[in-house]
């Protein structure tokens, strides 16, 4: 299977998204302050959206070449780990020292979208036209 590692990472991220969402809704709803619960839910939401975006890139790659896709996927995966992961750590463990990681994770997510734009801009259509 082409891009097996990326498919695996995307599938595991999807599973973790569902588990994190369920954990937040059922186990954390009455345990966290509204501010921390909102931060946790933001992490889940960003992880979910970027998991879907990764699926889209992988599906596109399965039908036509997409040079640079590994940069896009890598930036998104690192961004989800940094952004969502730091929000999870903040909400679950009160680890406030990770506050600087959250915006860096967000910058990686943005960089992934810009890398996708650059990749698409440079990609040629099957007919050879851009």
Taking only the tens place, the pLDDT of each residue in 9-21 is 999 999 999 999 9
**What pLDDT score does 64 carry?**
81
**What pLDDT score does 120 carry?**
87
107 within domain boundaries = yes
Q: Which structural domain range is residue 106 located in? A: 4-122
61 within domain boundaries = yes
Tell me which residues of the chain have a pLDDT lower than 50. 130
Angle at 108 between CA 114 and CA 95, to 5 degrees: 160
129 within domain boundaries = no
Q: Note whether 64 and 70 are within 8 A (CB).
A: no
**What pLDDT score does 124 carry?**
65
* Separation CA 107–CA 130 (nearest Å): 28
**What pLDDT score does 2 carry?**
75
Please count the structural domains in the chain.
Answer: 1
Angle at 39 between CA 94 and CA 80, to 5 degrees: 95
101 within domain boundaries = yes
130 within domain boundaries = no
127 within domain boundaries = no
From the list 74, 72, 100, the residue with the least C-alpha distance to 87 is 100
59 within domain boundaries = yes
Q: Is 71 exposed, middle or buried (0-12, 13-18, 19+ CB in 10 A)?
A: middle
87 within domain boundaries = yes
């Amino acid at each position: 299977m082409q891009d097996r590692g990326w498919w695996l990472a995307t599938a595991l991220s999807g599973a973790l998204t569902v588990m994190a969402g369920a954990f937040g809704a059922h186990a954390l709803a009455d345990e966290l302050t509204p501010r921390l619960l909102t931060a946790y839910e933001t992490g889940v939401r960003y992880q979910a959206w970027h998991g879907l975006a990764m699926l889209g890139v992988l599906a596109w790659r399965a039908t036509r070449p997409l040079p640079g896709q590994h940069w896009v996927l890598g930036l998104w995966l690192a961004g989800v780990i940094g952004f969502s992961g730091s929000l999870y750590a903040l909400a679950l463990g009160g680890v406030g020292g990770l506050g600087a990681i959250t915006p860096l994770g967000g910058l990686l997510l943005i960089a992934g979208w810009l890398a996708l734009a650059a990749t698409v801009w440079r990609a040629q259509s099957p007919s050879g036209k851009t």
